Amino acid sequence: MHGEAGTFVSLLPAAAVALPLASATAVPLLGRIRPTVRDAFVVAVVAADLAVVAAMVPQVAEHHRIVASVPAVVGGLAFAVDPFSLLFALFAAFVWFASTLYALDYLAHERHHDRYHVTNLVALASMLGVVTAADLVTLYLFFEALGLVAFLFVVHAQTDEAKKAGIKYFWMTVIGGFALFAGIMLTFYLGGHGELAPLPAGGPAALRWTAAALLVLGFGVKAGMQPVHVWLPDAHPVAPSPASALLSGVMIKAGAYGIFRTVTALFRPEVAEHLEERAWAFSEHLGLAVLWIGVFTMFTGVCMALLQSNAKRMLAYHSVSQMGFILAGIGAAGYLGAHGAMGIAGSLFHVLNHALFKACLFLGVGAVYLRTRSLDMYHLGGLWKRMPMTFAFMVVAAAGITGVPLFNGFVSKCIIHHAIVEAADLHHIASLGLAEKVYVVTCGGTACSFIKLIGLVFLGREKVETGPEVREASPRMLAAMGLLAAAIVVLGVRPQMVIRGIFEPGLHLWGLHPDILEEYLSEYFLSWGDISSVLVAFAIGATVFVIGMRTGLFHAHLPHWLSIDWWYQRAVRGLWCASGWVADGYAAYLRSISEALHDLQNWYERARVRIERAYRRAIALVTTGVADSEARRALARAELVLEVERQDEVRTAVDRTIRLLASAGVTDEAEWRDAIEAVRDSASYIAHRLFAVRLAAVQDAVRQGHAEAVLERIDGLVADAVSTRERIAAAAFAAASDRRAGRDVVRQLAAAANAAASEERFDLKVRAATRRRPVVADRLASQAETAPSHLAGRLGWASRARGGPAAATSWRCSRWMLDMLRLAADALTRERAGRVFDTSSSEESIVLTRQAITRYARDMSFNVAVIAVVLLVFVWSVVRW
């Protein structure tokens, strides 16, 4: 389709984008030097850009389509300008120029001038980039840039209201951007190559619809389409007025441009297939959908506008409504397919016209605000005397938007109207007839709104006393508004310029027949039929105005559930809560995991402690033969007390030696040391023997079930044995001198120990204390050290009395082995412990520690023994196999 039209390569499209972008970097520098220089520079740049765009006119006229490309992002940027792109670029640059000129004075009372001007230039570059993009990637890039940069316009004032509007705008833009991204992706899937050219027919219908819906949604957010327009009435009023003019006048047209290209370029058949049956089927359905969205948008927009008292907010709602006109036109174009020339021409003409009059209206209202500091229509009045020029321009713009003949809106509204009528006639769908009625009523509402605006603000009498500061706007601002107003009138009188200059060549390029436009110009332009429909609209408007002012209808408050915005906010809040639940749930899950891990750890700890205790008990059972816990406590206590006593005995002996040595006047240090060492050794030996005897007596008593009594009395018993200490000390001293003389003293020491033991008869004392004298035990107690076999025999005898002989034998045997083991372990460990840890301290805590160490050593040796046994078994099994 584009192929034969030629591919004239021109630098101009790229230059038009690059110029403001590059100039934007210089703005802060110039601003620092001198604001007036910066202002002049900015205006000059925008004017130069307008000139660059204008320079494309002859090129496009000659070659129909000019292209440029810049190698960069993902395959490079590509620009292409056909007549429709040129139309958008022209009015964008023109309105931009007016707005920039206006902004110089308007911004005097605002802050952040540099930021405004940088935003202004970057947004201009982005806007031109959007409308001159040759492929969807380039378009998306500039579209996103435009959306993000415009955020700075919205929040420029940085009031709370502006920030709130800015946030809403930003998120809507981002969501729209992602919808667009997904839609563009899907066009690739549908066989497109990213160009603004018809997608190949075929492909799953659902995906085709999804792609179309996503594209329309993505562009529609920007365009202020219902029901995703909610940001617009908030964002446009809070921006500074020149920025509002750009936002409402130009930037939303980027969205319209996108929808226009979606409906009329992407989802239409190739030129060669125009006449094929069903070729237009999808375009028809999509067009119908867009048409109805447009009708809905225009009607609700105008209804909301009527309820506003803030002038800028009202204008913002009119932007929504007017975008509805444009969408209806585009939809009609899609629906009419090959005969859609009227729809295309009407909607694009309306895009152009709306840019001019809406920008002019915002600038005029901005001038009013600058002077009066008020935007409330009900508080203003009679300004025509004080601001006559502004009033005149406002009237021109209002005439444009309401469609008064000889003003530009008249032409485009009539063409769109014709397109809708044509669409209704095509298949005689009754509902489209309804759409036509809604269209007329909406025009009436528009008329009413602007009767209200002009009447309340400029006519009537002043409602508030104002001083001399309320005067005519400055010349530069007037010049800006004048430019726009002049364009409104020129286009209203000479619509042929655009229709013949732009639309006819553009439509021809697409293989559509522009004859119908010529027919319109000759048959219908300024004909009575069209003028009468305007009169009907004004009649409706005047009626509504009178009723509204009388009944207070304009101050009605709609219930909040009727506002789509309210539902969006609820949905967003709901989603936020839901994501919060997810996060909380996840946090709770993590907590429960960590708790479970802690539980596991605790359980493991407890299990370990329990196993260790059981193991201890088993060891204790093996070494002492006592299973009962009280008995073991008694034994442990007795062992401890006896151990302390043993230490005390040794110490007593050493003390006594020291005393003796001191009284003997020995001075040689070596002699001292030797003597003390010898005495300690001897005393240790005796005390240990005695300890063993005593412990055996206690163990005996415990085994016979006197654990409680032992526990109670053991301290007293040991305290009674103090007298033995002196005896041991004397024996040790005697033995020590023998030992130093080199004689073997073991026999002597053993005798001394036996003597001390038989002197003391600890076993008898224990028995007395426990008040039980079993004969067998009595006999055994005296030979405690060699008792085990007898003991085993006695136990065996006892059990034989109870059970059968075979069981008894095995019981006796195992019991005997157990006892042997116990004694071996006992002898082994205690002897060693005695040797290793023998110090003269008898502190109870030290003794306890020593016992713990002993126990540890015992456990370790037990473990080693177990491992050795396992190894042996293993080796044995290996060898056997």
Name the one residue in this structure whose structure tokens are 């016992």.
851
Residue of 3, 58, 71, 467 interacting with another protein (CB under 8 A): 71
Work out the burial of residue 237: count CB atoms within 10 Å of its CB; fewer than 13 is exposed, 13-18 middle, 19 or more buried.
buried
Q: Which is nearer to another protein, 174 or 658 (CB)?
A: 174
- Residue ranges with strand state E in 98-228: none
Count residues near another protein (CB under 8 A): 37
| Six-digit token string for 607 | 């299990």
Q: Which is nearer to another protein, 148 or 636 (CB)?
A: 148
Q: Which is nearer to another protein, 36 or 158 (CB)?
A: 158
Work out the burial of residue 354: count CB atoms within 10 Å of its CB; fewer than 13 is exposed, 13-18 middle, 19 or more buried.
buried
Kindly indicate which of the ranges 171-179, 325-333, 672-680, 754-762 contains the residues binding another protein, using the contact rule CB under 8 A: 171-179
Kindly indicate which of the ranges 65-73, 297-305, 360-368, 725-733 contains the residues binding another protein, using the contact rule CB under 8 A: 65-73
72 in contact with another protein (CB under 8 A): yes
Q: Which is nearer to another protein, 83 or 177 (CB)?
A: 177
58 in contact with another protein (CB under 8 A): no
Identify any residues that bridge with 9 across adjacent strands, giving them in sequence order: 67
Residue of 11, 205, 586, 786 interacting with another protein (CB under 8 A): 586
Q: Which is nearer to another protein, 235 or 641 (CB)?
A: 235
Name the one residue in this structure whose structure tokens are 């401890």.
640
Residue of 51, 61, 205, 207 interacting with another protein (CB under 8 A): 207
Nearest to 247 by CA among 176, 183, 152, 329: 152
Q: Are the C-beta atoms of residues 135 and 35 closer than 8 Å to each other?
A: no
284 in contact with another protein (CB under 8 A): no
Q: Are strands 8-9 and 77-81 parallel, antiparallel or unpaired?
A: unpaired
137 in contact with another protein (CB under 8 A): yes
174 in contact with another protein (CB under 8 A): yes
Map 622-664 to HEC letters: HHHCCCCHHHHHHHHHHHHHHHHHHHHHHHHHHHHHHHHHHHH
Kindly indicate which of the ranges 183-191, 333-341, 663-671, 753-761 contains the residues binding another protein, using the contact rule CB under 8 A: 183-191
Smallest separation, CB 196 to another protein (Å): 17
Kindly indicate which of the ranges 166-174, 337-345, 417-425, 730-738 contains the residues binding another protein, using the contact rule CB under 8 A: 166-174
Phi, psi angles (nearest 5°) of residue 111: -105, 180
Residue of 1, 26, 57, 178 interacting with another protein (CB under 8 A): 178
Smallest separation, CB 73 to another protein (Å): 4
Name the one residue in this structure whose structure tokens are 């299990």.
607
Residue of 3, 4, 33, 74 interacting with another protein (CB under 8 A): 74
Q: Which is nearer to another protein, 388 or 580 (CB)?
A: 580
Kindly indicate which of the ranges 69-77, 238-246, 285-293, 856-864 contains the residues binding another protein, using the contact rule CB under 8 A: 69-77
Task: Report d(CA 90, CA 50) in Å as an integer.
Answer: 7
182 in contact with another protein (CB under 8 A): yes
28 in contact with another protein (CB under 8 A): no
Name all contacts of 549-556 with Cβ < 8 Å and 24+ positions apart. Answer: 549/452, 553/306, 554/306, 554/307, 554/309, 554/452, 555/307, 555/309, 556/307
Task: Report d(CA 39, CA 20) in Å as an integer.
Answer: 14
DSSP assigned state of 552: T
Kindly indicate which of the ranges 45-53, 72-80, 265-273, 480-488 contains the residues binding another protein, using the contact rule CB under 8 A: 72-80
108 in contact with another protein (CB under 8 A): no
Residue of 43, 175, 201, 486 interacting with another protein (CB under 8 A): 175
215 in contact with another protein (CB under 8 A): no
Q: Are the C-beta atoms of residues 332 and 359 closer than 8 Å to each other?
A: no
Smallest separation, CB 166 to another protein (Å): 8
Q: Which is nearer to another protein, 580 or 803 (CB)?
A: 580
**Chain mean position to CA 435:** 44
Q: How many helices (H) and strands (E) does the chain have?
A: 34, 3
Smallest separation, CB 249 to another protein (Å): 25
For residue 514, is the peptide bond before it cis, meaning its omega torsion is within 30 degrees of 0? no
Q: Which is nearer to another protein, 598 or 835 (CB)?
A: 598
Name the one residue in this structure whose structure tokens are 């409602």.
463
Q: Are the C-beta atoms of residues 422 and 278 closer than 8 Å to each other?
A: no
Q: Which amino acid is at 466?
A: T
604 in contact with another protein (CB under 8 A): no
Smallest separation, CB 210 to another protein (Å): 8
597 in contact with another protein (CB under 8 A): no
Binding mask 720-739 for another protein (x = CB under 8 A): --------------------
Identify any residues that bridge with 80 across adjacent strands, giving them in sequence order: 67
Identify any residues that bridge with 69 across adjacent strands, giving them in sequence order: 78
Coil, strand, or helix at residue 473? coil
Smallest separation, CB 452 to another protein (Å): 35
Kindly indicate which of the ranges 138-146, 434-442, 453-461, 663-671 contains the residues binding another protein, using the contact rule CB under 8 A: 138-146
Kindly indicate which of the ranges 370-378, 507-515, 575-583, 692-700 contains the residues binding another protein, using the contact rule CB under 8 A: 575-583
Q: Which is nearer to another protein, 158 or 551 (CB)?
A: 158
155 in contact with another protein (CB under 8 A): yes
* Contacts of 615 by beta carbon, 8 Å cutoff, 6+ apart: 859
| Six-digit token string for 75 | 């395959």
Nearest to 253 by CA among 187, 322, 310, 207: 322
Residues 345/351/352/353 CA torsion (nearest 10 deg): 100
- Residue 576 has, within 13 A of its CA and on its CB side, a CA count of 6
Q: Which is nearer to another protein, 153 or 170 (CB)?
A: 170
Residue of 76, 774, 793, 803 interacting with another protein (CB under 8 A): 76
Residue 343's CB: how many other CB atoms inside 10 A? 30
Q: Are the C-beta atoms of residues 658 and 676 closer than 8 Å to each other?
A: yes
Smallest separation, CB 154 to another protein (Å): 11
* Contacts of 724 by beta carbon, 8 Å cutoff, 6+ apart: 649, 690, 756, 759, 760
Kindly indicate which of the ranges 583-591, 622-630, 722-730, 852-860 contains the residues binding another protein, using the contact rule CB under 8 A: 583-591
145 in contact with another protein (CB under 8 A): yes
Kindly indicate which of the ranges 158-166, 238-246, 327-335, 494-502 contains the residues binding another protein, using the contact rule CB under 8 A: 158-166
Task: Report d(CA 785, CA 781) in Å as an integer.
Answer: 9
Smallest separation, CB 212 to another protein (Å): 15
116 in contact with another protein (CB under 8 A): no
Interface ranges with another protein (CB under 8 A): 71-76, 137, 140-141, 144-145, 148, 155, 158, 163, 166-167, 170-171, 174-175, 178-179, 181-182, 185-186, 188-189, 207, 579-580, 582-584, 586, 590
